[in-house]
Chains A and B, each alone.
Chain A
Amino acid sequence: EADIYQTPRYLVIGTGKKITLECSQTMGHDKMYWYQQDPGMELHLIHYSYGVNSTEKGDLSSESTVSRIRTEHFPLTLESARPSHTSQYLCASRENEQFFGPGTRLTVL
């Protein structure tokens, strides 16, 4: 079992609220990723990081932002949630093998 954690697992929130999805890994990996996945669809990369103070946008445009102040922590923030942000968000980290967290299912009403 990979040591990568995400909280919360489920979140239902109203439009306009600010939210932060937490992701932590204890494997010491420099590379970390955020993916967005809608039901029955492939994973889309929205953010990635090579290490502390390094963040890049992925393939899918996202209004979210990320930060990487510590190696083990890679939180994702939405300043003003909208219904279009409803999705599953998966965090991952990688050395040679890529490990995924359990995901956060976000619903914006």
Chain B
Amino acid sequence: KNQVEQSPQSLIILEGKNCTLQCNYTVSPFSNLRWYKQDTGRGPVSLTIMTFSENTKSNGRYTATLDADTKQSSLHITASQLSDSASYICVVSDRGSTLGRLYFGRGTQLTVWP
């Protein structure tokens, strides 16, 4: 069964600190993995997208890594800011159909305290 598991479920950190969020998946065949940021009451916004051949990608203070062999990804946030408080969702796409079906994790709820 294709699944996407994220950990931790929630995380509280102090402003300025770094953190790392984890994503494990069993989706096969694999096409790409995306990290989204979803603010409360808003739609998800894409942070990074990585294909099989990419093992790291950065977007400002966000750095995503991908190990396609172990089917694991992480999202590292550097020097956190209050505006980083949001849910971070890992989404994996398969190559099994024209649709390129997306599998969503439940997200990690990050809270940054001043």
Contact = CB atoms under 8 A, between A and B. Distances in A.
Contacts, number: 42
A103 B45 CA distance: 12
A100 B45 contact: yes
Interface of A: 4, 6, 31, 40-43, 45, 48, 50, 88, 90, 92, 97-103, 105
Given A48-B99, A103-B41, A105-B41, A98 B106 contact: no
Given A43-B89, A48-B99, A102-B42, 13 more contacts: A40-B106, A40-B109, A41-B106, A42-B105, A45-B102, A88-B41, A98-B91, A98-B102, A100-B36, A100-B44, A101-B43, A103-B42, A103-B43
A-B pairs with lowest CB-CB distance, top 8: A100-B43, A42-B104, A42-B106, A43-B104, A100-B44, A102-B43, A103-B43, A101-B43
27 contacts: A4-B43, A6-B43, A31-B99, A40-B109, A42-B4, A42-B104, A42-B105, A42-B107, A43-B89, A43-B104, A45-B102, A48-B99, A50-B99, A90-B43, A90-B44, A92-B43, A98-B34, A98-B46, A98-B91, A98-B102, A99-B46, A100-B44, A100-B45, A102-B42, A103-B41, A103-B42, A103-B43
Interface residues of B, number: 20
Chain A binding surface SS class: strand
B106 A97 contact: no
Contacts of A100: 36, 43-45
Interface of B: 4, 34, 36, 41-46, 49, 89, 91, 98-99, 102, 104-107, 109
Contacts of B107: 40, 42
B27 to A, nearest CB: 13
Nearest to A48: B99
A39 to B, nearest CB: 9
Contacts of B99: 31, 48, 50
Nearest to A96: B49
**Residue from the set A6, A42, A99 with the largest chain B CB neighbour count within 10 Å:** A42
Nearest to B44: A100
